[in-house]
Structure 1
């Protein structure tokens, strides 16, 4: 391949800037290690693919923010000048990457360094791995044609109200078929952004891809990821990890107040999250995001929690983002109509729906400040940690808290 897959440092998810600013102001000395994992058991990366991934990451590390890009970020109401000035100086470091072939799938990647640096590598790395794989494993032109056909059908499905989603956005950068494919999808659905067709019951809010949001004049979307709760709660060795959510929510409010507030619930289980998501935080945050377990059960649990605090759920947003397609999202929207505001972040189904299966790849924080950190999630299989003993310790800490508070 003779082109760059990542062409701009804006080509990442918005929540990397949301978290990045808070890291810059509150945790600039924290260090993290991130580990790549391919969950597909039948996928293998060839040595040629690994070499191309290395080349693309070197090209990515040559990029710098332009003044035009920095001005775009500055105009996002919660981004501060101090962070923009830091980004003017910031650059990715290829020296932070260790890339090899010593994994079951044929590809191993780890990044280590300051949290400020390594957090920014996750999304571009996954986008590069994904695009290299599909271009080198298959007939890419054939895949792109199947992608376009399915995209056209998806658009007609929502435009004609076959599926009524309400508010939705595109979250597919990390697992997209290609830069070209994601751009086609975002451009297509941006026709629903202004919702000029008043009969259409689906409204496209925007995309997590900041570069494409800027290009098409739509809203960049995203607040926090699991790394925020893992590192703020578990990276300080003095913290009880069962209170990870409290530390994460407290730091977020210090940074943003009532701005930029959708809280992620499932890092160390939603039941434990609710112990800390009491009246002050539930009032200040605009809503909560679902990323694992049954969405209907989760949504009902959140509604009951809001009601128990005297908060009208219709004034809060339930954002669903776990492995959604339009049919599933429409079903969730119908269930919660009149109960709460709902919105959807839809990723792979929009950005990588072709005639072949998509990859299930992740890159997660595995160490913070030299200490193990873990995501448990609300279901088995979505967690990730290198040390089973630490997972056992974390689970026991949570159980003690749940049993004794």
Structure 2
């Protein structure tokens, strides 16, 4: 067996930043995560179950190496006690289960359930494993050849773009491709190539292992699971976003200052993102809904708070390709700093339709939690009553 995951650093930075916060502030939290494929694969995922089980067995044998811990420890926002925790850490196979639903024999059901601290790292590894095992079913040579052509085209687009297209703020992008990559090796080739040939524009990667290997900046702050968990952490539901942001500020004290806006929709987020948080956070991340409408709303909100948005940053990360990033840059970059997290379009443009797979938090501390999103189809909740209650509390219209 060729292991998909060979290092526990082969994941996104925000898994560690969220995990450190949970260790310090909610170490006894219990969590449950569920896998979902949003599109119909060309091959049934159920046929991959045996290989995925074997990959998970290997994953749960891995430990952090000392040089990996030393690298993490050099990041100024990672604390020594968290490194000590990771030195002892090992994923537990008993917390993850892979089944084939009786009523959906072509699909996979993957669930992770247990202490949040011991479960939250599974997400990116599971998604990378499912992707790579799936794409190994197709001929590899033509896929790589197609990917190389597409990658060269993207680099040429960047070079052409550099001629006379600059705005007040520079164009910068980041690799966000770990979770839906074609394969580990292809992802590394993409990042290594971009780091060498697109250095003025390529400012980092969410993948910690590749950042370490190629001297790039590791990028990431928080994901949906972090804010969702606060729906079950004891405050009034109406206050969960403020509570989550307050805890984040307490943990990082000015570092990692990009806030995610769409757990219960941008309008509801901005109602909670008052002057206090506007001043404390460096900017916002877009991950669903129309990005132009989102950006205009965010700019209007900063102006209403009498804060000059020129000093803030908008990070766009919803299904972007280069052309989409260029269009957003032209529209916003004279008014606010911009950054573009490009994922699947970089790491899985190899001639096959990518899998639209996610693994989301669905319960915390034995209570349902939800992601509503600004895009129909991107929300996730397994309890209709809780979802309806959440919508009522935050005045969210049915999509």
TM (normalized to structure 1)? 0.93
Residue number in structure 2 paired with 1:53: 52
How much does 1:275 deviate? Answer: 1.6
Provide the secondary structure at the position in 1 that maps to 2:153: helix
Deviation string, structure 1 residues 195-218 (Cα, Å, up to 9, x no partner): 3xxxxxxx1111000000000011
The answer (yes or no) to whether the contact 2:332–2:338 under 8 Å persists in 1 is: yes
Q: Is residue 358 of structure 2 the alignment partner of residue 362 of structure 1?
A: yes
Equivalences for residues 296-315 of structure 1 within 5 A: 296-315=292-311
Equivalences for residues 10-159 of structure 1 within 5 A: 10-45=9-44, 47-102=46-101, 103=104, 105-136=106-137, 138-159=138-159
How much does 1:106 deviate? Answer: 2.1
How much does 1:101 deviate? Answer: 1.4
Provide the secondary structure at the position in 1 that maps to 2:56: helix
- The count of aligned residue pairs is 390
User: Aligned partners of 1:204 and 1:281: how far apart in 2?
Assistant: 29
Q: Is residue 237 of structure 2 the alignment partner of residue 241 of structure 1?
A: yes
Residue number in structure 2 paired with 1:229: 227
Provide the secondary structure at the position in 1 that maps to 2:120: helix
User: Aligned partners of 1:186 and 1:47: how far apart in 2?
Assistant: 31
User: Aligned partners of 1:141 and 1:92: how far apart in 2?
Assistant: 34
How much does 1:159 deviate? Answer: 2.2
Aligned residue among 251, 261, 268 for 2:264: 268
Q: Is residue 187 of structure 2 the alignment partner of residue 187 of structure 1?
A: no
Cα distance change of structure 1 residues 175 and 46 upon mapping to structure 2, 3 Å threshold:
closer
User: Aligned partners of 1:393 and 1:222: how far apart in 2?
Assistant: 31
User: Aligned partners of 1:392 and 1:366: how far apart in 2?
Assistant: 15
Residue number in structure 1 paired with 2:255: 259
User: Aligned partners of 1:10 and 1:121: how far apart in 2?
Assistant: 12
Cα distance change of structure 1 residues 46 and 218 upon mapping to structure 2, 3 Å threshold:
closer
The answer (yes or no) to whether the contact 2:155–2:197 under 8 Å persists in 1 is: no
Residue number in structure 2 paired with 1:318: 314
CA RMSD of superposed structures (Å): 1.6
How much does 1:192 deviate? Answer: 4.9
Residue number in structure 2 paired with 1:199: none
Structure 1 residue runs without a partner (length 5+): 196-202
How much does 1:311 deviate? Answer: 1.2
User: Aligned partners of 1:180 and 1:225: how far apart in 2?
Assistant: 25
Residue number in structure 2 paired with 1:177: 182
Residue number in structure 1 paired with 2:208: 210
Deviation string, structure 1 residues 156-184 (Cα, Å, up to 9, x no partner): 21123279680100001000000011001
Provide the secondary structure at the position in 2 that maps to 1:112: strand
How much does 1:328 deviate? Answer: 0.6
Cα distance change of structure 1 residues 205 and 399 upon mapping to structure 2, 3 Å threshold:
same
The answer (yes or no) to whether the contact 1:319–1:342 under 8 Å persists in 2 is: yes
How much does 1:244 deviate? Answer: 2.0
Residue number in structure 2 paired with 1:388: 384
Cα distance change of structure 1 residues 104 and 171 upon mapping to structure 2, 3 Å threshold:
farther
The answer (yes or no) to whether the contact 1:193–1:218 under 8 Å persists in 2 is: no
TM (normalized to structure 2)? 0.95
User: Aligned partners of 1:45 and 1:86: how far apart in 2?
Assistant: 39
Cα distance change of structure 1 residues 15 and 46 upon mapping to structure 2, 3 Å threshold:
closer
Cα distance change of structure 1 residues 254 and 372 upon mapping to structure 2, 3 Å threshold:
same
How much does 1:141 deviate? Answer: 2.3
Deviation string, structure 1 residues 263-283 (Cα, Å, up to 9, x no partner): 000001111111221111111
Provide the secondary structure at the position in 2 that maps to 1:374: coil
User: Aligned partners of 1:290 and 1:124: how far apart in 2?
Assistant: 23
User: Aligned partners of 1:43 and 1:269: how far apart in 2?
Assistant: 32
Structure 2 residue runs without a partner (length 5+): none
